[in-house]
Copies of this chain bind each other. A is one copy, B any other.
Amino acid sequence: MTSPLDAAGRSLEDYPRPSVAVDTAVLTVEDGQLCVLLVRAADADDATAWRLPGTFLHPGEMLSDAVARSLRDKAGVTGLRPQQLRVFDDPQRDDRGWVLSVAHLDVVRADRIPTTARIRLAPAADVPELPFDHRDIIDVAVEALQKRYEASPDPFELMEPAEPDGSFTLRELRLTHESVAGRRLPPDTFRRSMRAELVETGRLSHGRRGKPAELYRRRTD
């Protein structure tokens, strides 16, 4: 890599640079509750051992790749679509030094999170004390997630499909959205607002109590 000089006659290497980290709030739904994934750090005392998974950005790496790497290495979770939230840049936020953190949101089905002693899910509405500004990151992530779910049907595919072909009933979709929103949603209004983005399969869901429900699929366009 070349090191051209700037207007002051110095190259990039002559300026101090910050460490850049990514920290990710991985949100999921477990037992109808919106939860965030925490990992137990090895190099910390017990009080601040649990935190969001994160890592330092490697040379030449995209932020989204760093997120994917940290989630794979620290939580055994793969195949996600990280969404950038914002940079946390308080110079005092990390007592190890000058560290910027680019906060991310990611979402995964709970059954794809391995169960180990170093991983735990905490209800997003009631997280324990966390180091750095990880609590703020979670708040921003939850807000971003709820906004996405107001606009489209289960955009992160949190819903566990009851049907083998991936189709679902409006009830299943609504329960997922209720978990994300943290409140009940009126069934009739929910149906009408989501139906424009769904296609009927023509098949029905049987085996449960009550009238069989139509099975829908997401619109593919």
* A43 contacts B by Cβ under 8 Å: yes
**Residues in chain B near residue A5, CB distance under 8 A:** 43
Known: A84-B87, A89-B62, A91-B62. A99 touches B18 (CB 8 A): no
Most buried by B among A1, A3, A89, A96: A89
A59 touches B16 (CB 8 A): yes
The answer to whether B97 touches A12, judged by C-beta atoms less than 8 angstroms apart, is yes
Q: Which of A42-72 contact B (CB under 8 A)?
A: 42-43, 56-63
- Verify A3–B91 contact, CB threshold 8 A: no
Cα A20 to Cα B91 with chains together (Å): 14
Q: Is the CB of B20 within 8 A of A100?
A: yes
A: which residues have CB within 8 A of B? Answer: 1-7, 11-13, 15-20, 41-43, 56-63, 84, 86-87, 89-91, 95-100, 102
Q: How far is the CB of A121 from chain B (nearest CB, A)?
A: 23
List 27 A-B residue pairs with CB atoms under 8 Å apart, sorted by A's residue number: A1-B97, A3-B96, A6-B43, A6-B96, A7-B42, A7-B43, A11-B97, A12-B19, A13-B97, A15-B19, A15-B56, A16-B58, A17-B17, A17-B18, A17-B20, A18-B20, A18-B57, A20-B100, A59-B91, A59-B98, A61-B91, A62-B90, A63-B87, A63-B89, A84-B86, A84-B87, A87-B87
Return chain B residues, CB-CB under 8 Å to A56: 12, 15
- Sorted nearest first, the 4 A-B pairs with minimum C-beta distance are A17-B17, A60-B91, A7-B43, A12-B97
Q: With A12-B56, A84-B87, A87-B102 given, can you name 10 additional A-B contacts, CB distance below 8 Å?
A: A4-B96, A7-B42, A7-B43, A11-B96, A15-B56, A17-B17, A18-B20, A18-B57, A60-B98, A63-B89
Cα separation A7 to B73 with both chains bound (whole Å): 14
